[in-house]
Amino acid sequence: MMFQNLIRGFYLELFKASLLTVSLASIPVSAQIIPDNTLPQNSVVTPQGNIRQIDGGTRKGNTLFHSFERFSVPTGETAFFNNAVDIQNIFSRVTGSSISEINGVLKANGVANLFLINPNGIIFGENASLNIGGSFFATSADSVVFANGTEFRTTNPNAPPLLIINIPVGLRFRENPGSIVNRSRSTFITSDDMGQQITTRGLQVPSEQTLALVGGNVRLEGGILTAPSGKIELGSVAGNSFVGINYESEGFAINYNRVENFQDIGLSDLAEINTSGERGGEIQIQGRQVNLTGDSAMISSTLGSGMGGDIFIVASDSITIEQQSGLFAEVGQNATGRGGTITIETRQLTLTNGAQISLTTLGFGQAGNLAIAATESIDLIGEAPDRESPSGLFARVEAGATGNGGNINLETNRLTVRNGAQISTDTFGFGNAGDLFVNASGVEVVGSTVDGRFASGLYAQVGERGTGNGGNLTINTDQLIVSEGAQIGTIARNTGLAGILTINANNAVIISGTASVSEPQEDQRSGIFISAEPAFEDELGNLIITTADAGELIINTPELIVENGARISADNFGTGGGSNVNLNINRLIIRDGGQIGAGSLVEDGAINNERGSGGTLTVNAGESVEITGTDTIGSTVENSRLFTLAEGTGDAGNLSIFTPNLTVANQGEVNVSATGTGEAGNLTVEANSIRLNNGSLRAETRQGTQGNVTINAPDIQLRRGSQITTNSLETGTGGNITINSNQLVAIENSDISANAQAGLGGQVIINADAVFGTQFRTQQTGASDITATSELGAEFSGTVELNNEIDPAQGLIDLPQTVVDPAALIAQDPCRQGAESEFVITGRGGLPPSPQEILRSEEPFVFLIELPPEYESRRNHSSSQKNRVPRNISPNLNQPVSSLDIVPARGWIRNEKGEVILVGYDPTQTGVQRQRQYLIQCQP
């Protein structure tokens, strides 16, 4: 029976619960604002049509407190906090277990700030909006903390708080704070007191107020947050956290100094955060992972004279911006205020699929700066899906703007820019572009977009119609890699000067390859460049010629490699001065079509060829310079080159190389040349050793004044058709060649020439101790030649001076033609010759060298001694007796040989000290022992 009663009781309670569920479901949605009666003076909710008027609550000073069990507002309805107009802050807490869903309007009187606190979470629907005069806080905190330690709690709400202080100092979160979601995209058009039209979008607070969403995960799923000239705060924190609140004259500011762990923040599906206004407002985002997708944006535009606000994003783990989403700080058209700064601090930053972070000025005010500190990496990848814009970081002065552009500062361990992404500071207006600074352990700039339209790159440039100056570009890194058509450069146009490009790499700079397209073009080489760009026609058809200088390029690194068609260049397509290139390195390697050059150039289809001078190129290499090989760019075979060039009326710059070792091989070139009417530059080489192996050092001109070559090197070798030339190809005069060396070797049809076609031949001066393999000739031959000819005739030829102190042909002795038989020079023993005697060598090793073999240093050195007088006298006596056979002498095996007598050695023994001693008897006692002979004559 007891068991049956228990069962009956169980089903009775279940039935009651089901009735309660049905009854709650049948309650109109408008009844979801339910006070909880936990305050001394409780809230009173009164329906008035589609408005739910909220009266009552507990007032302490200028602060009003409300407490609800449930708080949700359906679509089309308004929750109206009917507060006194002198109330400054309204705190509304939810003590129940349900999430607050706001699909209607939240309204309050006067300028009161409204705080909505629900630890379970808050969702703002598509039609949610605000109609308040102050700031708005939506938080899933457990309590609001005041200065004296008093807390307005959502848990244990019956504890009476000491509500004395009405200024909050922080938000306290329990273990699992709920999420806050905003989907609001509502738009209302109203008028202010002056009749000005006001457009309200999404959740919006009045001008210069704060809008804050602080909780667990925070998501804007297509939602909009608007605070004109105010502040927008998004904070995502983990449990057991404390978030500080500071009250300021222009709203509230939130700090996260006491937060140890964060959660995630996401913007998706056209979500937007906007603080634009008379002055740009501030945006602060703080979380673990911050993600912007689906064309979402954070915008702070300065539209008047006020100072722009900053965008500040801190993510303890990562920030990902993709799908054309971005961060934008602008100075509007005609605005005079300064733009705000964008600051990002994170471990890893990634921008992809057309995502951008941009600083722009369209007016008179200066744009703000971009500062990114990523402890691990910054990755910029690709372009927008419509292929109209690359992913990247940009600071820009737009057309017509007079304000200066902002700077970009990047601090990270690894920076990667690839697949067409870019970092750029530009000016298209009258203002100057900002500077670009990169400090990273590794920098890699790779590739281009699939169609090759956008090359991955870092740029500081003057736009096509800009007249301001370009910014400086500085990279400090351990290693820089630029490959697959990527580029780094500064550009000048019109009257705007290009900036200075400086690269400091502790380990190496590697520039490699071309764009990964079927037939890469000249402008699709991987490269580092500075350039004064070609002239163009404006919209009225006027020709605009660049008159500005192209800047300066400085590279400091232990190793610089330019390979596989890549290029480092300083190009001047305008009438201004050329650029200077300074390479301060330890090793320089240019191979397989790589090139480094400075030139005054004429673009294809140019209206005229009036050009300024080319820049100078200086190489200071502490160890070596190597230039070798070729590559094919498009359909053209390009030699590896180090060069200066002038194509129009301008003069080519000088090229100077200072290195211990210079190698130019396999069609590699070092040249200064002028293909137009300008002068070729001068080539100067200072080295210890120069090796040309099918390579060349050249200074060439067509119609202008000749270029000269000066070489100072103790050791110079030319092989396999190598050349040192200062030839003139048309009416120009052949240049001068001056070589100062200890030893000059030129073999295998390697030439030194200062020839001319329709002008005067040049001059060749060689000061060398020795010259091998080549000589002066009046015409070039198939051998190695030194020439200074003119095709106009001998009277137009130049001069050749060979000043060598040592003539290798002088002082030689003619050797006789008779071949000497070495055996005829060896003294013969008449006794041996007459009696066919033998000389037997026994023992291990010790064989004397053959007369036909080279002597080895291991052979012992034996001093000669004088013979005793009696032996000397016997030697002077004739001892030639032929046809005599020596007597047989009985061996005495035990009789030692006196060390005072000189006898042939028969063997060797080892004494008590372990030393090897030669002896005059056979120590093995197996051979015939030779007895001492006192007569030098042959025995009978």
Q: List, as one string, the DSSP characters of 675-729.
A: SSSSPP--EEEE-SEEEEES-EEEEEESSSPPP-EEEE-SEEEEESS-EEE--BS
Q: Say yes or no: 299 and 383 in one domain.
A: yes
Whether residue 41 is contained in a domain is answered as yes
CB neighbours of 158 closer than 8 A, spacing ≥ 6?
38
pLDDT of the residue at 32? 87
Considering the chain, what percentage of its residues have pLDDT values greater than 70?
78
Least confident span in 56-65, 274-283, 629-638? 629-638
Average pLDDT of 194-210?
81
Average pLDDT of 87-103?
95
Average pLDDT of 400-428?
94
| pLDDT tier at 758, thresholds 50, 70, 90 | confident
Residue 679 identity = E
Q: Say yes or no: 40 and 180 in one domain.
A: yes
Average pLDDT of 580-597?
96
Contact 905, 923 (CB under 8 A): no
Phi, then psi, of 248 in degrees rounded to 5: -125, 165
Q: To which H or E segment does residue 830 belong?
A: helix 830-835
- Can you tell me whether residue 290 is helix, strand or coil? strand
586, burial (CB in 10 Å: exposed 0-12, middle 13-18, buried 19+)? middle
Q: Say yes or no: 491 and 632 in one domain.
A: yes
Using CA of residue 927, residue 933, residue 937, residue 940, what is the dihedral sign?
Answer: negative
Task: Tell me which of 193 and 623 has the higher pLDDT.
Answer: 623
Average pLDDT of 864-885?
46
93, burial (CB in 10 Å: exposed 0-12, middle 13-18, buried 19+)? buried
Could you say which of 615, 645, 680 is where a domain stops? 680
Structure tokens at 901: 């007598």
Q: State yes or no: pLDDT of 778 exceeds 60.
A: yes
- Can you tell me whether residue 552 is helix, strand or coil? strand
Give the separation between CA 334 and CA 402, rounded to whole angstroms: 10
Our CA angle for 50, 225, 279, nearest 5°, is 125
Residue 34 identity = I
Query: Strand pairing partners for 35?
Result: 68
Give the separation between CA 279 and CA 275, rounded to whole angstroms: 9
Give the separation between CA 596 and CA 73, rounded to whole angstroms: 69
Average pLDDT of 442-450?
95
Whether residue 630 is contained in a domain is answered as yes
Selection from 602-606, 655-659, 906-910 with the highest mean pLDDT = 655-659
Q: Say yes or no: 207 and 76 in one domain.
A: yes
Query: Can you list the alpha helix ranges (DSSP code H) found in 754-847?
Result: 830-835
Q: Say yes or no: 344 and 391 in one domain.
A: yes
pLDDT of the residue at 806? 55
pLDDT of the residue at 541? 63
CA distance to 66, 599, 751, 785, per residue, from 674 (Å) = 85, 9, 21, 25
120-136 residue pLDDT tens: 999 999 999 999 999 99
Number of C-alpha atoms within 13 angstroms, CB side, residue 850? 2
pLDDT of the residue at 144? 93
First to last CA, the chain: 154
Residue 136 identity = F
Token pair 């070092």 is found at 670
Average pLDDT of 779-793?
87
Q: State yes or no: pLDDT of 719 exceeds 70.
A: yes
pLDDT of the residue at 466? 78
Task: Tell me which of 386 and 320 has the higher pLDDT.
Answer: 320
288 Cα distance to chain centroid: 27
CB neighbours of 455 closer than 8 A, spacing ≥ 6?
420, 422, 448, 485, 486, 487, 515, 524
Closest CA to 37 of 107, 88, 96, 82: 96
What is the biggest distance separating any 2 CA atoms in the chain, rounded to whole angstroms?
A: 160
Q: Say yes or no: 700 and 848 in one domain.
A: no
Structure tokens at 325: 């989403």
Q: Say yes or no: 919 and 777 in one domain.
A: no
Phi, then psi, of 105 in degrees rounded to 5: -110, 140
Give the separation between CA 588 and CA 594, rounded to whole angstroms: 11
Average pLDDT of 222-251?
92
Phi, then psi, of 100 in degrees rounded to 5: -85, 125
Give the separation between CA 492 and CA 572, rounded to whole angstroms: 9
Task: Tell me which of 270 and 930 has the higher pLDDT.
Answer: 270
| pLDDT tier at 498, thresholds 50, 70, 90 | confident
Closest CA to 97 of 66, 65, 74, 119: 119
Whether residue 20 is contained in a domain is answered as no
Q: State yes or no: pLDDT of 481 exceeds 90.
A: yes
Query: Can you list the alpha helix ranges (DSSP code H) found in 109-263?
Result: none
Contact 529, 562 (CB under 8 A): no
Give the separation between CA 102 and CA 125, rounded to whole angstroms: 6
Residue 339 identity = G
Query: Strand pairing partners for 655?
Result: 617, 683
Beta-sheet pairing, 33-35 with 63-71: antiparallel
Could you say which of 224, 257, 290 is where a domain stops? 257
pLDDT of the residue at 934? 46
pLDDT of the residue at 761? 79
Could you say which of 469, 504, 536 is where a domain stops? 469
Selection from 159-173, 313-327, 463-477 with the highest mean pLDDT = 313-327
The model carries a pTM of: 0.81
Task: Tell me which of 584 and 331 has the higher pLDDT.
Answer: 584
Q: Say yes or no: 64 and 136 in one domain.
A: yes
Average pLDDT of 897-902?
50
Q: To which H or E segment does residue 43 belong?
A: strand 43-48
DSSP 722: -
Closest CA to 741 of 802, 798, 793: 802
Whether residue 582 is contained in a domain is answered as yes
Our CA angle for 871, 877, 878, nearest 5°, is 130
Contact 299, 273 (CB under 8 A): yes
Q: Which domain holds residue 907?
A: 821-940
Q: Say yes or no: 54 and 193 in one domain.
A: yes
141 Cα distance to chain centroid: 44
Phi, then psi, of 915 in degrees rounded to 5: -85, 150
Q: To which H or E segment does residue 22 belong?
A: helix 2-26
Q: State yes or no: pLDDT of 79 exceeds 70.
A: yes
CB neighbours of 476 closer than 8 A, spacing ≥ 6?
437, 438, 439, 440, 504
Token pair 């500075």 is found at 530
**Ramachandran sector of residue 183 (left: φ over 0; alpha: ψ -120 to 50; beta: rest):** alpha
| pLDDT tier at 601, thresholds 50, 70, 90 | low
Whether residue 50 is contained in a domain is answered as yes
Q: Say yes or no: 596 and 687 in one domain.
A: no
| pLDDT tier at 441, thresholds 50, 70, 90 | very high
Q: Work out the number of other CB atoms within 10 angstroms of the CB of residue 853.
A: 8
Average pLDDT of 749-773?
89
425-438 residue pLDDT tens: 998 888 888 999 99
Long-range pairs for 4-13: beta carbons < 8 A, 24 or more residues apart: none
- Can you tell me whether residue 66 is helix, strand or coil? strand
Task: Tell me which of 710 and 450 has the higher pLDDT.
Answer: 710
Least confident span in 28-32, 119-123, 435-439, 607-611? 28-32
Whether residue 25 is contained in a domain is answered as no
Query: Strand pairing partners for 152?
Result: 144
Please tell me the total count of domains within the chain. 5
Q: Say yes or no: 837 and 919 in one domain.
A: yes
Q: Rg (Cα) of the chain, in Å, rounded?
A: 47
Token pair 């009173």 is found at 44
Q: Work out the number of other CB atoms within 10 angstroms of the CB of residue 364.
A: 18
Q: State yes or no: pLDDT of 880 exceeds 50.
A: no
Q: Work out the number of other CB atoms within 10 angstroms of the CB of residue 625.
A: 27
Q: Say yes or no: 95 and 145 in one domain.
A: yes
Average pLDDT of 287-294?
98
Average pLDDT of 798-818?
63
Average pLDDT of 285-289?
98
Give the separation between CA 695 and CA 682, rounded to whole angstroms: 18
Average pLDDT of 730-741?
84
Structure tokens at 744: 């000059």
Whether residue 5 is contained in a domain is answered as no
Strands (E), 63-202: 63-71, 78-81, 89-94, 100-102, 105-108, 113-117, 122-124, 129-131, 136-139, 143-146, 151-153, 168-172, 180-182, 187-191, 197-201
Average pLDDT of 345-350?
98
Contact 796, 790 (CB under 8 A): yes
Whether residue 131 is contained in a domain is answered as yes
675-699 residue pLDDT tens: 877 787 899 999 999 999 999 999 8
